[in-house]
Amino acid sequence: MFAQSNAILTVAPPQKIVAKRGSAATAKLEVVLGAGYHINSNAPHEAYLIPLRLTWTPAPLEVAEVVYPKPHDEKYQFSEQPLSVYTGNFEIATKFKAPADAVMGPAIVLAKLRYQACNSTMCFPPKTVEVRLPVDVQ
Amino acid sequence: MVRVRLSAALVACLLAVFASGCSSSRVKAASLKPDSERKAAPDFELKDANGHTVRLADYRGKVVLLDFWATWCGPCKVEIPWFKEFERQHKDKGFAVLGVAMDEEGWDVVKPFAQHFGINYRIVVGNDTVADLYGGLGALPTTYLIDHDGKIAATHVGLSPKGEFEDGIRQLLEARGGISSSPAVLVRTK
């Protein structure tokens, strides 16, 4: 609904993971947020706020769990109560499971990271970043 | 002598600031553009909560505070009580607040939010086309003060001091030869 603003948040290309059939593997996503900006955590205190959300299209793997980092509460000029936010650099881990019958070989697993950022006086439209995770199923 | 005069002026200025309760409500609206530099506010047509068509052009003849906001925007929430107050104070004086909610989810989220916050001014739900007309709206809140002739007199991006809005509204209403008791234009609806 809006023009795309400058990169407030960047996601480093994730490193390839090796997943053996019938076992687990973890992928880590490094997120860098520009100075002075914050994004809502995955569990904001107020319902109207847009949470950080990492959504995978995991085939040929299965998602066991997405582990968000521990957020911190911060009070801003515009908020009566502290907000649950992320700032700076942080990491989101995803625990995958490779099914016993998973197709072997290289694959790309896709994800979308949706976030909504603000600074102390203004907010920026929600944005979605596409993530491509190289996977080697063995 | 000059130094004494300057000091006296400074003291008078400081007293004036303290007399106003050190609030931002006395901030001068320095950002109000001169008439010659004002450009026409792009017209648009959007629906209000009752499904009625609202055109910005319908407000011609009024001073309009056009507020682009969203339910997920914390700084926008701070300004809402101010805008409610402006609407209450000046709605019979040729002034109106028009809120354009930029929520992708539309009325499903905007309606309950507006009810919860007791918004007393008209709200419409925006779209990409309108955002583009206003430069893409890269950040919210983005608020425009529009003069009687439908021209943009001031633009505020981000949370701005209440006094800047107040002073701008007052100046624009006064520019029309005082504060009239009846609206200059009736709002047309379909």
- Span B101-127, pLDDT tens digits: 999 999 999 999 999 999 999 999 999
pLDDT higher than 80, residue B10 = no
> What pLDDT is recorded for position B72?
97
| A65-79, A103-117, B70-84, B171-185: range with lowest mean pLDDT | B171-185
- Looking at residues A71-96, what average pLDDT do you find? 95
Q: Mean per-residue pLDDT for B91-106?
A: 96
What does pTM read for this prediction?
0.82
CB contacts of A118 in chain B (<8 Å) are 73-75
**Tell me, what's the pLDDT at A77?**
86
Nearest CA to B75 among A115, A79, A73, A51? A79
- From chain A residues 87-106, the ones with a CB under 8 A of any chain B CB are none
How far, in Å, CA of B161 to CA of A113, rounded?
34
When pLDDT is averaged across residues A99-109 and rounded to a whole number, the result is 95
pLDDT surpasses 70 at B2: no
- CA distances to A5, A63, A99, A101 from A22, rounded to whole Å, are 42, 13, 5, 8
pLDDT-based confidence at A55, cuts 50/70/90? very high
Helix (H) / strand (E) containing A92: strand A89-97
Averaged confidence pLDDT in chain A: 93
pLDDT for B8 beyond 50: no
**Arithmetic mean of pLDDT, B48-60:** 96
Amino acid at B30: A
For residue A121, the chain B residues in CB contact (below 8 A) are: 75, 158-159
What strands lie across the sheet with A62-67, from one edge to the other?
Answer: A9-11, A24-33, A89-97, A62-67
Query: What's residue B13's pLDDT?
Result: 37
Query: pLDDT band for position B162 (50/70/90)?
Result: very high
Nearest to A1 among B76, B102, B135 (CB): B102
The residues, any chain, with a CB within 8 Å of residue A107's CB and separated by 6 or more, are A59, A60, A134, A135, A136, A137
Helix (H) or strand (E) holding B123: strand B122-125
- Which pLDDT tens digit goes with each residue over B16-43? 333 333 333 344 445 799 999 999 999 9
Q: How far is A31 from chain B (nearest CA, A)?
A: 21
Q: At what angle do helices B162-175 and B74-90 cross, to 10 degrees?
A: 30
* pLDDT for res B120: 97
Could you report how far apart the first and last alpha carbons of chain B are, in Å? 67
Residues 6 or more apart whose CB falls under 8 angstroms from that of B178 comprise none
**Residue B31: per-residue pLDDT:** 76
Within 8 A of B132 by CB-CB distance, chain A residues are 3
